[in-house]
Structure 1
Amino acid sequence: MWTTRTLPWVSRSRGPRADRTLTSYRAAVAPRIAHCTPALGESVQRAVEEASLALARFEGASTRGGTVLAPIADLLMRGEMVASSRIESVNAPLDMIAAASLGVRVHVNARLVAAAGDATRALSGVADRRHLEADDLLAAHSTLLAPLAADVDEQVGRLRSVQNWIGGSDYSPRGALHVPPPADDIAADVDDLIVFLRRQDLPALAQAAIAHAQFEGIHPFVDGNGRVGRALIHAVVRKRGLTRQVTVPVAAAMMAQGERYTRALDLYRAGDPDSIIELVARAVGRAAAAAQESSARILSLPEAWRAQTNARRGSARQRLLDSLLEHPVLDAEDARALTGASSSATYGALDRLVADGVLRIAVARKRDRVWVAAAVIDEVDVLLDALAE
């Protein structure tokens, strides 16, 4: 169970008088969880088991020759990074996010969303190879905030050196809903979490939910805690072998819970982990079910595209159509490589597919033009809308 302790507060703001005259506050003290084993309630155990089976079945159904189909993996990662970013009010058009994934210079929000996907992939990639270390969380944070590095360089990839808080006043911890541990405690708190992540004796989803809740309670960064904390769920699931390649959009399912999620975190810090474990488990189950339906729609697109066009067999347009599912975001260089045709023939094919409604121009700048497969990119919103219900 989390506790609190009283610490001195020195006001350095010009905020309301109540903030300027505040002299002390209570900050959280994170319990050591490295060797704690929660006793899960019956309904929680059932939710964890059902979600674990649903996730395993989905990955099995999405795999060919031992590899998850690239279009499905790409769709699910796009859904997760968009949903995780929206929770933090980092919003951007899907086409701009797609362009950002190619390294095209677009609005910073689009680059931040793409970076959230990069951070999730990086953390899961490490978990595929070995146990996570504290430095891996710092590296994920650096990746996440890379688009802002020029403005907040002192915060990127570093544990915070200041007190933060959630809710309440903008000027002091007065009235805060949660005041995480002070900066001096953070390194030890994170080290304890890292030891917890190495355990193999807990159900994977229970371990992922507890790790997420503990991380959010510690709030070790000035910014980006929510997105790194949700990426941590996927890393734990991957490390424990519950999935090998897929990243289901758990963030979207969690976002739909709203106040229930906040309440579950409060209960966790009060000593009851059941609520957050059950919430994460049910979010995973819902995400797996929605992802199954979305994947079926994605895999049916080539047939729909053929019906939309009259592309001649062997033409540049046909070669682009055959490649779109695995390459739904293209610049001119990508398109030429996929068609194997001249620049004029390739641009002609692109123009025809735009006219057919298969492609959409995401970035119209002459030197940085980007095209997207409209139905593939739009499926992200279809998936997230389904999970928001």
Structure 2
Amino acid sequence: MVTPAIREWAPQLDAETVADVEEASLALKGFDLHSLGLFGAGDPALAPMSAILLRTESASSSQIENLTTSAKQLALAEIDEGKKQNALTVVGNVRAMEAALRLSDDLGVTSILAMHAELLSRQPGLEHEAGRFRRELVWIGNRDNAGPRGAAFIAPQPDLVPAAVADVVAFADRVDLPALVQIAVAHAQFETIHPFVDGNGRTGRAIAQAMLRDKGLATHTTVPLSAGLLIDTDSYFSALTAYRAGDAGPIVHRFCDAARYAAVTGRELVDALAGELERSKEALAGVRSHSAAWKILPRLIDQPVVNTRFLVAAMGMSDVSVMRALDVLTRRGVLVERTGNSRNRVWEQRGILSVLDAYADNVRRGH
């Protein structure tokens, strides 16, 4: 199969689609501004808040591929304390999303390969495929594993992949299209090309995040767009099928729906996390302002499970300062030590973990 080039594609948008795209785009911008207004550009909690939203997005994107993990297990994996394989694999998706945002102003073929390298380098058995285009034929929809015969869709031949991905990059670089239309179509085209042996969906959704940042729809925080796709994966996959048949309308509308869901639930998540941060601040009332405990507090948003090794490296503090701060945070009820050990201890901020798990549960119920 040869995928038609889209670098010069000109969509014909009816009034309903235009209105849908404009409404969803405004919702995304509103969510981004809400997060900025809640914390302020100079607030030390804004970066951790964006980081935890990125991790939440990565977890939802992975769940679309049936890779499920809890907030606690993911946080443990981030500090090399967890052994759950799904969590370790999702960490790869976190790294891919981070690379996507880091490279958002220079989205090229090399950047996409870098995202994929971060993703698959942590997936056992597929490390050798990380950051390289497939060299074999792939297909979708044949449950009998009988090869491409009878498959619902056969992706382009391997030798056509590099040029096809370059075409997506050229399309993504255009500035004459509504951003959300552009993001939805670029994503659908990328999934149609299926340039990798594995990790196409997760890489494609990372590219969507890069485009959201580059197009100015989300410049301060990560939008939980994959959560909006996760609540109705049947319509998401059906929209991709319709796109391959020549109809881009369903995938554009599906992304609009996902964007609105992400904006509403993302705002609720940010507000809930801000509430937990405020409760922790109240618990530290009376602790002197230059205490290390206050410096550590914002980091608990994006890393609600910590050990001394992580904090020493992340905060640039001595072991003694970190231990004193952990003692204060534990005595004040901000943290709970979860191991009961005298050595190799791990602390967790249970309020933040509860907020993250409640968000994930709501998404699953919607799904």
State TM-score, norm by structure 1. 0.82
CA distance in 1, matches of 2:42, 2:141: 44
Give the structure 2 partner of residue 84 of structure 1. 61
Deviation of the 1:332 alpha carbon: 1.1
1:330 paired to 2:330: no
Match of 1:31 in 2: 4
Q: Structure 1 residue 93: deviation in Å?
A: 2.9
| Aligned CA distance change for structure 1 residues 346 and 338 (closer, same or farther; 3 Å) | farther
Q: Distance in 2 between matches of 1:67 and 1:266?
A: 44
| Within-5 A mapping of 1:1-389 | 28-63=1-36, 64-66=39-41, 69-104=46-81, 106-128=83-105, 130=106, 132-148=107-123, 151-168=125-142, 169-305=144-280, 309=283, 313-314=287-288, 319=294, 322-323=297-298, 324-325=300-301, 328-335=304-311, 342=321, 345-346=324-325, 348-349=327-328, 351-352=330-331, 356=333, 358-361=334-337, 369-388=345-364, 389=366
Greater shift, 96-105 or 211-220, is seen at 96-105
Shift of 1:218: 0.7
**Largest Rg, 1 or 2:** 1
- Structure 1 distance, partners of 2:165, 2:339, is 41
Give, in angstroms, the shift of residue 370 of structure 1.
3.3
Q: Which has the higher helix share?
A: 2
Deviation at 1:288, TM superposition (A): 0.7
Q: Kindly tell me: are residues 108 and 267 of structure 1, through their superposed partners in 2, closer, same or farther at Cα, counting changes over 3 Å?
A: same
Question: Taking structure 1 as reference, are residues 361 and 49 closer, same or farther at Cα in structure 2, changes over 3 Å only?
Answer: farther
Indicate how the Cα distance of structure 1 residues 370 and 338 shifts in structure 2: closer, same or farther if over 3 A, else same: farther
CA pair 279-362 structure 1, distance change in 2 beyond 3 A:
farther
CA gap of 1:37–1:335, structure 2 versus 1, over 3 A, is: same
Q: Secondary structure at the match of 1:29?
A: coil
Backbone CA RMSD of aligned residues: 2.8
Shift of the 65–95 alpha-carbon distance from structure 1 to 2, 3 Å rule, reads: closer
Deviation at 1:181, TM superposition (A): 1.1
Q: What residue identity is the alignment partner of 2:122?
A: P
Deviation at 1:352, TM superposition (A): 3.4
User: Which structure has the highest strand share of the two?
Assistant: 1
Partners in 2 of 1:273 and 1:369 — Cα distance?
Answer: 52
Contact between 1:85 and 1:91, CA under 8 Å: does it hold in 2? yes
C-alpha contact (below 8 Å) 1:305/1:321 kept by paired residues = no
Whether contact under 8 Å (2:52, 2:302) holds in the other structure is no
> Does structure 2 retain, via aligned residues, the 8 Å contact 1:320–1:339?
no
Q: CA deviation at 1:188?
A: 1.7
Could you give the per-residue CA deviations for residues 336-383 of structure 1, whole angstroms, max 9, x where no partner exists? 659875566445345536xx4x43556778765432322223322322
Q: Distance in 2 between matches of 1:350 and 1:338?
A: 18
More divergent stretch after superposition (37-46 vs 271-280): 37-46
DSSP 3-state at the match of 2:103: helix
Does the 8 Å contact 1:96/1:362 carry over to 2?
Answer: no
CA distance in 2, matches of 1:343, 1:188: 51
Task: Compute the displacement of 1:245 (Å).
Answer: 2.5
Closer, same or farther in 2 for the Cα pair 1:163/1:65, shift >3 Å? Answer: same
Contact 1:99 1:363 in 2 (8 A): no
Identify unmatched segments of 5+ residues in structure 2: none
Q: Does the C-alpha gap of structure 1 residues 41 and 60 become closer, same or farther in structure 2, counting only changes over 3 Å?
A: same
Indicate conservation of the 8 Å contact 2:57/2:226, yes or no.
Answer: yes
Counterpart CA distance in 2 for 1:306 and 1:245 is 23
User: Counterpart of 1:34 in structure 2: which amino acid?
Assistant: R
**Shift >6 Å, 4+ stretches:** 362-367
Q: Deviations over 1:150-181 (max 9, x none)?
A: x3343111100011111212241233222111
